[in-house]
Structure 1
Amino acid sequence: MAAHSPLVMAEDDAAAKDKDVEKIAVVGSRAAPRSVGESPVPVDIIGSEEFAKQGNSDMLNMLSTLVPSFNVNTQPISDAATLIRPANLRGLGPDQTLVLVNGKRRHRASVISFLGGGLADGSQGPDISVIPSAAIKQVEVLRDGAAAQYGSDAIAGVMNFELKDDADGGMLEAKWGQHYEGDGAAEQVAGNIGLPLTQNGSANFSFEYKSSDPTDRSVQRGDAAALIAAGNTAIADPAQIWGSPEIKDDLKLFANLKLDLGNEKEAYGFGNYAKREVEGGFYYRNPTNRSGVYNGPEVNVGGTVYDTLLVGDMTPDDAAGCPIVRLDANGIPIASDLAVVTADPNCWTFAELFPGGFTPRFGGIVTDSSIVGGVKGKLVEEVFFDFSTSYGRNEAAFAINNTVNASMGADSPTSFKPGTYVQSEVGVNFDVYREFAVGFYEPLVLAGGVEWRQDTFEVKAGDPASYEIGVLADQGFGIGSNGFPGFKPEAAGVFSRSNLSFYSDVSAWVTEQLMLTGAVRYEDFTDFGNTTNWKVSGLYKVTDALSLRAAAGTGFRAPTVGQTKVLNVTTAFGVNGLEDQATLPPDNPISVLKGGKPLKPEESDNYSFGAVLDLGTTHVSLDMYRIDVSDRLSQTSPLTLSEDDIQTLLDMGIRDALSYSSILFFTNDFDTKTTGADLVVSQDVDIGTGQSKLSLLLNYNKTEVSADPLTTNIDDVKIKTLEENLPKTRGSVTFNHSEESWRGLVRLNYFGSWWEVDDDYDITTGMNEGSKVLVDVELGYQLTSQLEVSVGAQNLFDTYPGLNPYGDSVGAKYPTTSPYGFNGGYYYIRAVYTF
């Protein structure tokens, strides 16, 4: 018997028939959907009502509350990860969990998370946030590797989002909330309606529209405060904002259609369209020492050594030259020097445009769409089939404002469109299965199929000003939009690969107590060859109440086309402090010089063993697992470029190499071992009146990195981040009670201790944060049979992580990768009308 999720068991069997929760899982087998009670691997089913009992309006945040081993960070200053936040299951990368919708593979997002809080750096997973909770009937979480059934990415597990398919009825929802601090206000309206599609079909439509204000949990940076004290009044307070980004016009549409074709066949189709604009903060550019913009050479005047501003000659061919601008002991430009430069139209310093420095605002517009269509049913007598085709597309059009292309000097704009990433995927599936009477307790089910997929990653060049090599490029000024240089035409292109796979799946109740399953999959990719993976699992009923289960298998994750071909420059903390880091393709000559090699698939070995106890009103499951991943794919640690390296780049015609402090590239450079356990307990509680349920979810997860520092390009900081940035222990205790017209919920969320690297990228001085418990509450009242109003609070007692000991230098009041965020308490009100 599989694990009974307490979220599923919250309703008794009679009530469940009237709900849209089904104890039937699509994931875990290529055969017919089976009851979770007959699954030899743990499958949790989360019903739609569990998503409704939350103030969160983002699918990622909702899942992190309901699935303890699922983690997502706020991503306050995270480059492209600000647009599409990465999430982690069982401490593995975001692209090591396979996401399905209605049992069909969901396409990846176009964004590669170059700054993903450490653990997710370099990942390219799907954008789960485009799925509105109003469209969800249930979410199935398969907590086991399943690459033998589904192919690439299913190392940590599988999440399947089943869409509502009702032919009548619907709901409308309005929600508003904000943080205790008075910021981050979010407004949302959502709805769902089911309509008949002929006599035996359905057309179900869902929408969601929301907006969310930014938050600010910053302190004034020490360098900015010192300049203000010295007399520079042009600096903002705070100079740099750490907080959740602003989300504008977030629209999500989903449709799910089914049509009975007769003769035991059904046509189906579903798809989505989503669009949102996101804008977040970036790092402050100090007006005295920011290289490539402000920081000039030291000069000796009359025996006194001065720091200077970087001054550019806009007409270098006239040989007239420009005077220097000295800085006083406090870093303030000497007024008389600055006046001379300002008065000369041929000379330029960015102190004229941004005398207090500047902080770019980074974001963009994310557009996501997909369509899936197919036919399933009886092919011939006793043979069932499912044929489908799919297309998915995700586009991220980047924008950066309040910044400059320093090499253009006085001619630089302050807003740029640095380019666009596009990920598109096409898939064709044909699955069949049949039952055979072979003398077992139940017929043997044999399934198989073939799948063809094509993945395409496209890079579109930015506007010319975002990458232009301006007149000041040879005078020490940086090239491209500062903070996120635009994609140059030579970096743009369309890159594709395809793969063909064949797979088989067999399962049977051999005896009344013993169920066995097996699967094998062969997959051939056009870029790196083929791979074969297998899985076996079994379930044994010791008694009617106690079952044991176990599984073993292999898995893999193919490097994405984007990880193979992408070129990007971003600003991040490294060994030299804040620096421009270039991510290059692994076959770039400089990457090869630093050890870059062609990418190959990650490979995994998965093992799990568990027990399930079902005593009617008490359900307990305990599952232990181990996931070994070899040749794990990630970005390298920042690799400092020497003067010779930079000269090599210049000789190759890469003139903006002077702006690079270090490079990174994708590499299969280390192995990891992840061990853990999941405990799930659900208990009906009799308190004398109404209905009550107590649920416990607990996950322990430990990752160990195996890497030889003499042969790899990841350093101790990267290793420690992979091992300790997420809590090893996470859990929740939830109490639900309903009585007559009202209901209540109290949830305790536990987060174990974790570690975050400091701004100096120093392993010896990082932040060690202790464990915390956050409390969520909600109270709902049924005003009429169709209208319910609820109020609630998440993080009721306004719990924060400890103060950031390095906040003075980076401007962040709290650790930025906190697994429970750093925005504090959030309260909300919601009204739902059903019909």
Structure 2
Amino acid sequence: MKVRHTSLYKAMVLAFASGTGAMMFTSSAAAEDQQAKDENIEKIAVVGTRAAPRSVTDSPVPLDIISGDEFVRQGSTDLKSLMSSVTPSFNVNDQPINDASTLVRPANLRGLAADHTLVLVNGKRRHRSAVITFLGGGLSDGAQGPDISNIPVSALKQVEVLRDGAAAQYGSDAIAGVINFVLKDSSDGGMLEARYGQYYEGDGDTVQLSGNIGMPLSENGFANFSAEYRTVDDTSRSVQRSDAQGLIDAGNTFVPVPAQIWGTPEIKSDFKFLANFGLDLNDTDEAYMWLNYAKRDIDGGFYYRNPHTRGGIFDGGMKPTGQVDDNGDPIMAPTLLVADLTPDDGLTCPTVFTGANVLQSDAFQQVLNDPNCFAFNEIDRLRGGFTPRFGGEVTDMSMALGTKGEWGNDWMYDISASLGYSNVDYSIYNTINPSLGPDTPFEFEPGTYTQIEQTYNFDVSRPIEISGWDEPVNFAAGLEYRAETFEIEAGDAKSFAIGPLASQGFGIGSNGFPGFKPEDAGSWSRYNWAAYVDIESYLNEDWLMTAALRFEDFSDFGTTLNWKVSTHYQVGDTIGLRAAASTGFRAPTVGQSNVRNVTTAFTEDGLEDQATLPPTNPISVQKGGQPLEPEESVNLSAGLVAEFDNGIYLTVDYFHIKLTDRISQTSPLELTPADIDALLALGINDATSFSSVKYFTNDFDTTTQGVDLVANYNTELLGGDTKFAFAYNWTDTTVDDFNPDNINDAKVQMLEDNLPAHRFTFTTDWRYQAVDLLARVNYYGDYYEDHLDTGGDLPIYAGSEITLDVEATYHWTDALSTSIGAQNLLDNTPDVNPWKDIVGSLYPATSPMGINGGFYYVRANYTF
């Protein structure tokens, strides 16, 4: 812990000492406060432009603006799930048993990976999470994106979703688009909210308390505070595994029911705090600052370890029974892995054939009564096998501070510094280090990952009058410097220890998630600087043109130059046409280039320990690993915006994203005996620890295209104000080229088909006097799941689904309201998993609609 706190302290000192020490607080104009209170004023966004804030209808690229109130009126409490409900091109699904993905769920915009979307808070880049999603449902395998769930919903004024490539404007990661979270900036008033919910099955109890308060900061500023706290019980949508049921039928009464739990993990505690400050320094300049702190404790499940067949713990391999078949060949049978605790005494332990229930074997009783012999089945808590529990604490902190205003002759400036810190402290219990034998503990601390980012920006802009032009040309330019550090801290000694039984075939390290060894630990950094220019101008009163150019230089892989052009042309009073073309890139993260991790995956041969190693590690190099290069993209989009006299608002946009040299983990690459011998000869002693290895590589190209359609209509119905909103997304991804030695056909299909190609939501909001009624229909198209990452041996082709969300609110007074609602009111569930008996998952684990069924909730809200 000392190393982490020291690094954070140094980074914060550097941020404050960067020449922005005078930038103490953030500001807000009073006119903007009034605008936020007036629902009839057209929604304005700052993302995607460095000129004056622009309305949605004038934007040359697709832009959604979602008010904070829209997030509140749902059953979900997680920001990622809330985003998915109101933005069909944004997808997130549950991660029941997916290692680190359980702690930070990957989210996808426009069919791309979680780290292809840039996240901003008040226009400033948000840091990425320390969690690397080694098992990310195919599409996000190996992604390391920001964790937006650490932002309290109560702090949001609005969310701006720019659905277009914007790397030329904002830098790396902005390939699928940009999401900007705009924070509340009121200097008075506030709210308190309490909510409780539960799934129809009677589990997943959710309790959340949240609040927001705005206060004046002298006469010229504001201090706005938001906080949330929630707990969520775990769920189970499981059936008993066939192998576990077979053990029970054979008389093993120690097998848990169910042996393996598929469901959402338990969130023991989840606290989020955000403070947003602003101060007018004079008539033209203002200072700003925001702080965000979050801490989450999660407990999830892993795969069940069968007391007969789990390699390295129970499975002793096939051995001759002493009998022969009709051809005279010896008959082989499975045996129990038995340790000789005194190997030098010349005595041997009996061979134990597992049979239907090894506990009933006479040979096992001999082992049980012989102090010189040992099998893990002797331990009461392991007699029926065991299922490790995996989780950890995620700590996230960030801040940004700066000043902006007018400088010189009409020049506008913005100078800022920001710092982000993410730490995940892994934990695993109800497991063992098999090599330690009877001395093993059952709980381990495998180690931590830490991500630290610093960003410094200096931006200027001004309108430039050009003779003969009706409108001035807005010119913007800026410089950016960023530093990223990824750290690995070793786990407790017993989590990676090579115990005395390792030489007898017992596994090494905490089973399921071995600890990081001291030689794995370290700190790796990267630095880059960027310069950009951005030009926007109306060629005439109807025709807007924009252009941007950005140059970046990275310390680890060199330079990149990206551009973007976009246009909007207004045809009459009703229809506007828009189009954009750009190039983009995503730099490989420092974590992807240096991380080490071991995960347990279910393969066609059963459970297997798979090591993820740096691509430059000798073991990776032996299997073809090379240093990572940036991904590169070409984005094209075209669409129209229409506002009709009858009140209908409509946007239709087509997008086409060509992405080359995409970074992903390889499929598991088997280490052959020849590979291991060659590595041992090089002094790589841990080569014998792994069945297969994976590493990050630039190994495939894709083309993603689609259509986004948004339609809104407001009218009066049955005496009440009624709003209709329809949002539709079609996304199609094709893998154009890939290395079949690294990526198998099942992963290709996951990349292409794991997300539904078609999604839409249709929302009706009816308000009459003190009553608000909301109903939302959600449609999810067909999708494919490569169940359990088995390489295509357990494919699931799931059909389309429809769910219905409803909520009713009654306003008792202007300040107090209560709501009752249900997500998935009709309790619809995905198609039943055709392979459910194999590991007990009742439904496809990556179902876009979730696997838990209906959820009801109540909410009370008090504003002041």
Category of TM-score, reference length = shorter chain: over 0.9
Which residue in the other structure is 1:299 paired with?
Answer: 319
Aligned AA (2:210): A
What one-letter code is carried by the residue in structure 2 that aligns with 1:745?
A: L
Structure 1 stretch displaced more, 156-165 or 317-326: 317-326
Structure 1 match to 2:480: 451
Q: How far apart, in 2, do the equivalents of 1:551 and 1:538 lie?
A: 6
In the alignment, which residue of structure 1 is the partner of 2:358?
332
> Offset of 1:639 from its aligned partner?
1.3
Please say if residues 745 and 791 of structure 2, whose CA atoms lie closer than 8 Å, have aligned partners that are also in contact: no
Q: Distance in 2 between matches of 1:345 and 1:569?
A: 33
SS of 1:496's equivalent in the other structure is strand
Equivalent residue runs for 1:556-635 within 5 Å: 556-616=585-645, 617-635=647-665
**Secondary structure at 2:175's aligned position in 1?**
coil
User: Residue 235 of structure 1 aligns with which residue?
Assistant: 255
Equivalent position to 1:311, from 303, 316, 338: 338
Amino acid at match of 2:499: G
CA–CA separation in structure 1 for the residues paired with 2:634 and 2:684: 42
Q: Which residue of 2 aligns with 1:194?
A: 214
The verdict on how the C-alpha distance between 1:459 and 1:15 changes in structure 2, with shifts beyond 3 A counting, is closer
Q: Could you say which residue in structure 2 is the equivalent of 1:642?
A: 672
Alpha carbons of structure 1 residues 708 and 118: separation in structure 2 relative to 1, 3 Å: closer
Q: In the TM superposition, what is the alpha-carbon distance from 1:708 to its structure 2 partner?
A: 4.4
- 2:728 alignment partner AA: L
8 Å contact 1:16–1:22 — kept in the other structure?
Answer: no
Whole-Å separation in 2 of the counterparts to 1:37 and 1:760: 44
Classify the secondary structure of the residue corresponding to 1:648: helix
Counterparts of 1:759 and 1:114, CA distance in 2: 13
- Correspondent of 1:689 among 699, 716, 719: 719
Give the aligned partner of residue 396 of structure 2.
368
Q: CA deviation at 1:676?
A: 0.4
- Deviation per CA, 1:201-221: give whole Å up to 9, x if none: 000000000000000000000
Q: Distance in 1 between matches of 2:435 and 2:401?
A: 51
Q: Match of 2:180?
A: 160
Give % identity.
Answer: 55
How far 1:687 moved relative to its partner? 1.7
Secondary structure of the residue aligned to 1:410 is helix
Deviates more, 1:823-832 or 1:608-617: 608-617
Which letter does structure 1 place at the counterpart of 2:141? D
- Aligned pairs for 1:45-84 (under 5 A) are 45-84=65-104
Counterpart-to-counterpart distance in 2, 1:708 and 1:56: 38
Say whether the 8 Å CA contact 1:30–1:448 is kept in structure 2.
no
Describe the superposition over 1:82-128 as per-residue Cα deviations: whole angstroms up to 9, x where unpaired: 00110000110000000000000000000000011111110000011
Q: Distance in 2 between matches of 1:279 and 1:394?
A: 18
Query: Do residues 387 (structure 1) and 415 (structure 2) align?
Result: yes
Q: How does 1:494-573 map to 2 (within 5 A)?
A: 494-573=523-602
Name the CA shift for 1:470/1:22 in 2 (closer, same or farther; >3 Å). Answer: farther
Give the superposition deviation at 1:764. 6.7
Amino acid at match of 1:162: V
**What's 1:3 paired with?**
none
Alignment partner, residue 463 of structure 2? 435
Q: Larger deviation: 571-580 or 241-250? A: 571-580
Alpha-carbon contact 2:759-2:781 (below 8 Å) kept: yes
- Comparing 461-470 with 648-657, greater Cα deviation is found at 648-657
Residue 735 (structure 2) pairs with residue 705 (structure 1): yes
Is the contact between residue 648 and residue 712 of structure 2 (CA under 8 Å) also seen in structure 1? yes
Cα distance in 2 for partners of 1:318, 1:128 equals 59
What TM-score, normalized to structure 1? 0.96
Residues 824 and 854 of structure 2 are in contact (CA less than 8 Å); yes or no, is this contact kept in structure 1?
Answer: yes
Letter in 2 for 1:313: D
Work out which of the residue numbers 800, 806, 811 in structure 1 matches 2:829. Answer: 800
SS of the aligned residue for 2:748 comes to: helix
Tell me, in whole angstroms, the C-alpha distance in 1 between the residues paired with 2:515 and 2:35: 56
Structure 2: distance between partners of 1:138 and 1:48: 5
Deviation at 1:642, TM superposition (A): 1.1
> 2:17 — aligned with what?
none
Q: Which residue of 2 aligns with 1:791?
A: 820
Contact 1:298 1:308 in 2 (8 A): yes
Alpha carbons of structure 1 residues 65 and 151: separation in structure 2 relative to 1, 3 Å: same
Moved more, 506-515 or 333-342: 333-342
> Which residue in the other structure is 1:343 paired with?
369
Alignment of 1:190-339 (within 5 A): 190-303=210-323, 305-328=332-355, 330-339=356-365
- Report the residue type matching 1:699 in the other structure: N
* Match 1:667 to one of 697, 714, 732: 697
Distance 1:206 1:230, change over 3 A: same
Name the CA distance, whole Å, in 2 between partners of 1:719 and 1:809. Answer: 23
Shift of 1:672: 0.4
Equivalences, count: 821
How far off is 1:338 after superposition?
Answer: 1.9
Q: 1:767-778 residue pairs with structure 2 within 5 A? A: 767-778=796-807
Distance in 1, matches of 2:656 and 2:818, equals: 44
Kindly provide the amino acid, as one letter, of the partner of residue 627 in structure 2: P
Deviates more, 1:24-33 or 1:92-101: 24-33
Q: 1:645: how far off?
A: 1.8
Q: Which runs of 5+ in 2 are unaligned?
A: 1-33, 324-330
For residues 651-708 of structure 1, the C-alpha deviation after alignment (integer angstroms, 9 at most, x for no partner) is 4555554342211111111100001010010011332411001111000000000124
1:30 and 1:323 map into 2 onto residues whose CA distance is 77
Tell me the amino acid that sits aligned with residue 108 of structure 2.
N
In the alignment, is residue 731 of structure 1 matched against residue 751 of structure 2? no
Does 2:454 correspond to 1:426? yes
Distance 1:32 1:322 in 2: 81
User: Structure 2: how far apart are the matches of 1:16 and 1:731?
Assistant: 28
Distance 2:694 2:240 in 1: 31
Indicate how the Cα distance of structure 1 residues 664 and 783 shifts in structure 2: closer, same or farther if over 3 A, else same: same
- Structure 2 distance, partners of 1:127, 1:360, is 25
- Kindly provide the CA deviation profile for residues 751-804 of structure 1, in whole angstroms up to 9, marking residues without a partner as x: 010011134725375111111111000000001110000000000000100110
Distance 1:16 1:562, change over 3 A: closer
Letter of the aligned partner of 1:359 in structure 2?
Answer: T
- Note if contact 1:248-1:278 (Cα within 8 Å) is conserved in structure 2: yes
Structure-2 change in CA distance of 1:226 and 1:96 (3 Å) = same
Normalised by the length of structure 2, the TM-score is 0.93
Instruction: Name the CA shift for 1:653/1:221 in 2 (closer, same or farther; >3 Å).
Output: farther
Q: Distance in 2 between matches of 1:123 and 1:773?
A: 29
Residue 376 of structure 2 aligns to which amino acid in structure 1? F
Return the letter of the residue paired with 2:669. L
2:269–2:298 contact (8 Å) kept in structure 1: no
> Does the C-alpha gap of structure 1 residues 653 and 170 become closer, same or farther in structure 2, counting only changes over 3 Å?
same
Alpha carbons 2:164, 2:176 under 8 Å: kept: yes
Contact 1:40 1:550 in 2 (8 A): yes
1:9-28 to 2 correspondence within 5 Å?
17-19=37-39, 23-28=43-48
Task: Please give the alpha-carbon distance, in whole angstroms, between the structure 2 residues aligned to 1:349 and 1:811.
Answer: 27
Q: CA deviation at 1:637?
A: 1.2
1:331 positional shift = 4.2
Q: What is the aligned partner in structure 2 of residue 5 from structure 1? A: none
Q: Deviations over 1:375-406 (max 9, x none)?
A: 00011120000000011100000000100000
For 2:778, the equivalent position in structure 1 comes to 749
- Partner Cα separation in structure 1 for residue 394 and residue 123 of structure 2: 24
